[in-house]
A and B are shown apart, each in its own frame.
Chain A
């Protein structure tokens, strides 16, 4: 009898513990409860429960700790200071799969907040245990461990190097081949986080044969998986020409162009980012993408999307056009210039406008044909406005000025240059006048048009220091016309004529 009573006490206590830990875990899912829990000192209560005899209590305690650490970094810091991590790492190697999942969840929640916390997690020897967990059979455990590794490797290059040194990369590549979609996603995201820091890390990822599997997964219908896969490929290809070539050799083009019509916004953004990183390096890579029809697809994408996600597409067009005049002409032929003009007009963010201005500069700087195509889209006055606008950021102003200068130095399309005569400041004006002085001596129709549209009048009104280049150009323009016309349009001619009337004595 008394034995039963004694046992009943223990049973009650176990029930109480289980209930407490489950309730805390449920409460920890809602952010508003966490403050209260923290003030009530939940950390010190949960810590001994991790060592409880009953496995369910242990697991639920670990889960509750994980959710708390997930919420903010103070709690994560508290976990680190309370020396809970070594216990978790030890049990990661020993316990069953539910506990492993919960322990990996805690490690991930702690490591995600900052580099120091991640370093603390690494210092406890978590990496080896996590790598062992990635080799487990259960896909849930693999996923949790891979996720934790991903969050550790995210912060900086040393941590990523530490993850690589623990031998995680081949295992992650094996995880990518598993049938579960969630596991694939996490493994792809971890590889992306590892490869993004430096070329050596990217090379390590590539050496394990990741590219082939990632390339296969680009055809998978799941949208979140595609996000991670394209992000990984983009991070790999951004570091060097060889890596970009290896990504291209996996024959992803033109199949990835179909992902540009995916309904998910971030898939499209990551595809464009990847294409940008590839085209950045050499003209041959850009040529390959142009030949596959990538430029047209990206231009359509720019038309359909709005906001920040347009930025990689705009930069890609700029990079392609920057390599050679052939490629710039290809961008123009694919109707890129009107689309970029629409982007410039629609977007309000300064950095996107700066990128568009830069892209225009790259397109229009090669030959008069290119400058004409850019000028015909009525872009030059807009660039001028961006340059002169006091509210534009400095970066935007600098880029707009540089683009304007580059285009003007090659532009011979006079109807587009005329509006600039009226509004431009002197440093832009000298380029405009220079172009006029080059074109007018040879074209009589243009001369006539110049006079009738009031350009000659404006030129006479410009004040320039004698001997400066501007004055020389003005002289060159004046030499194209007979003296009477020049005098007629010079300022103050009407006063001169009236003076002559005053001084005339009829005979």
Chain B
């Protein structure tokens, strides 16, 4: 009961308190309401924001994975194409190499080989040089040969001349024509005359010819010759030798010995022989005459249907009367 009494003493206070509190609350209600609304809206906002960011995060994760997946796929595609391109590029380069080689080969074999031509021209220049050198040498050789033969001939001529003129050699007493005392040294001919060997004539045979028939004159004076000069002339050959030399019998050459009618005689002899020995009536004709009967065959690719007339048909002596007018056709018929 004490609480109740306390409460009854406080009823008025409570009523006043109640009214002040209500008034204060009424005064603060709007403010508190706004504040509450603010707090609530802020809190709701936070909630929503948290929710949004959560959702965002989730969406990001999804998108992230999705993108990664797609990108890796894309990357693989790109990798494949890059690899493919690389291979194609490589194949192209190889194909170009093959085509290069092939084109080079083709042009060189079937169209024109520049290096072969160049090589050919170089070889040709070398060959020309070689031929030129060889011809020069040959010409030089021939010239030397000719000069040598000419010189030898000249030398031989001079030698024979010196041999023939050997008597012009100068003696101790009398200087020769070529060794004039007014010259400083003797002439070339003089030196030649000194060097020359005497002319060797064909010596007469040591023994007289027993086999040949000797003419009458040889039967007389074998040892005694008629004197030719009054004064002695020099070392003589033995008289027998000289006699044999002078009366040497004639050795006619075949041409001289043949009688001028040898041909006719031979023909006669042949005819007689033939008459004697002939058994066959048809003599064998030698081949040299076979040409005459053979018609000349013209070339195949120049023969034409318009043949040349055979020689001997149009203007043969016996048939061409115009030409033979005035000529005596019967006189000289050759065989």
Contact yes or no, A199 B299, CB < 8 A: yes
Can you list, as one digit per residue, whether each of A247-260 has a CB less than 8 Å from chain B (1) or not (0)?
Answer: 00000001001101
Q: Please give the number of chain A residues whose Cβ is less than 8 angstroms from any Cβ of chain B in the complex.
A: 46
Contact yes or no, B317 A300, CB < 8 A: no
Overall SS of chain B's interface = helix
Which residues from B are CB-within-8-Å of A263?
142-143, 146
Instruction: Tell me whether A87 and B332 are in contact in the complex, defined as CB-CB below 8 angstroms, given that A96-B260, A123-B317, A257-B135 are known contacts.
Output: yes
Instruction: Tell me whether A165 and B296 are in contact in the complex, defined as CB-CB below 8 angstroms, given that A86-B331, A90-B332 are known contacts.
Output: yes
Interface flag for B288 (CB, 8 Å) = yes
Contact yes or no, B296 A164, CB < 8 A: yes
Contact yes or no, B135 A90, CB < 8 A: no
Which residues from A are CB-within-8-Å of B296?
164-165, 204
Which residues from B are CB-within-8-Å of A291?
124, 127
Can you list, as one digit per residue, whether each of B141-185 has a CB less than 8 Å from chain A (1) or not (0)?
Answer: 011001000000000000000000000000000000000000000
In the docked arrangement, what's the CA distance between A283 and B331, Å?
A: 59
Contact yes or no, B131 A257, CB < 8 A: yes
Contact yes or no, A297 B132, CB < 8 A: yes
In the docked arrangement, what's the CA distance between A87 and B315, Å?
A: 21
In the docked arrangement, what's the CA distance between A34 and B8, Å?
A: 209
In the docked arrangement, what's the CA distance between A290 and B127, Å?
A: 10
Q: Please give the number of chain B residues whose Cβ is less than 8 angstroms from any Cβ of chain A in the complex.
A: 39
Q: For chain A, residues 127 to 144, give those with C-beta under 8 angstroms from any C-beta of chain B.
A: 128-129, 135
Which residues from B are CB-within-8-Å of A95?
263
Closest residue to A129 on the B side, CB-wise?
B334
In the docked arrangement, what's the CA distance between A135 and B327, Å?
A: 29
Interface flag for A329 (CB, 8 Å) = yes
Interface flag for B117 (CB, 8 Å) = yes
Interface flag for A448 (CB, 8 Å) = no
Closest residue to B132 on the A side, CB-wise?
A296
Interface flag for B302 (CB, 8 Å) = yes
Interface flag for B47 (CB, 8 Å) = no
Contact yes or no, A261 B139, CB < 8 A: yes
Instruction: Count contacts between A and B, CB distance < 8 Å.
Output: 90
Contact residue among B117, B131, B288, B335 (Cβ-Cβ distance under 8 Å from A93) = B335
Contact yes or no, A333 B311, CB < 8 A: no
Can you list, as one digit per residue, whether each of A153-172 has a CB less than 8 Å from chain B (1) or not (0)?
Answer: 00000000110111100110
Contact yes or no, B117 A326, CB < 8 A: yes
Which residues from A are CB-within-8-Å of B135?
257-258, 260-261, 297, 300
Q: How far is the CB of B94 from chain A (nearest CB, A)?
A: 35
Q: How far is the CB of B220 from chain A (nearest CB, A)?
A: 30
Interface flag for A334 (CB, 8 Å) = yes
Instruction: Tell me whether A199 and B302 are in contact in the complex, defined as CB-CB below 8 angstroms, given that A89-B332, A125-B334, A330-B121 are known contacts.
Output: yes
Contact yes or no, B334 A290, CB < 8 A: no
Can you list, as one digit per residue, whether each of B104-135 has a CB less than 8 Å from chain A (1) or not (0)?
Answer: 00000000000001001100110111111001
Contact yes or no, A90 B334, CB < 8 A: yes
In the docked arrangement, what's the CA distance between A258 and B298, Å?
A: 37
Interface flag for B277 (CB, 8 Å) = no
Which residues from A are CB-within-8-Å of B138?
258, 261
In the docked arrangement, what's the CA distance between A90 and B332, Å?
A: 6
Contact yes or no, A125 B124, CB < 8 A: no
A sample of 10 cross-chain residue pairs with beta-carbon separation below 8 angstroms, ordered by A number, consists of A125-B334, A161-B311, A165-B296, A165-B311, A261-B139, A262-B142, A296-B129, A297-B131, A297-B135, A300-B135
Given contact pairs A55-B260, A296-B132, A326-B120, a sample of 7 additional A-B residue pairs in the complex whose CB atoms are under 8 Å apart: A90-B334, A123-B323, A167-B289, A170-B291, A260-B135, A290-B124, A291-B127
Question: Which B residues contact A (CB, under 8 angstroms)?
Answer: 117, 120-121, 124-125, 127-132, 135, 138-139, 142-143, 146, 260, 262-263, 288-289, 291-292, 296, 298-299, 302, 311-312, 315, 317, 323, 327-328, 331-332, 334-335
What 8 A-B pairs are tightest by C-beta distance, nearest first? A293-B131, A167-B291, A296-B128, A261-B139, A90-B332, A86-B332, A165-B311, A334-B128
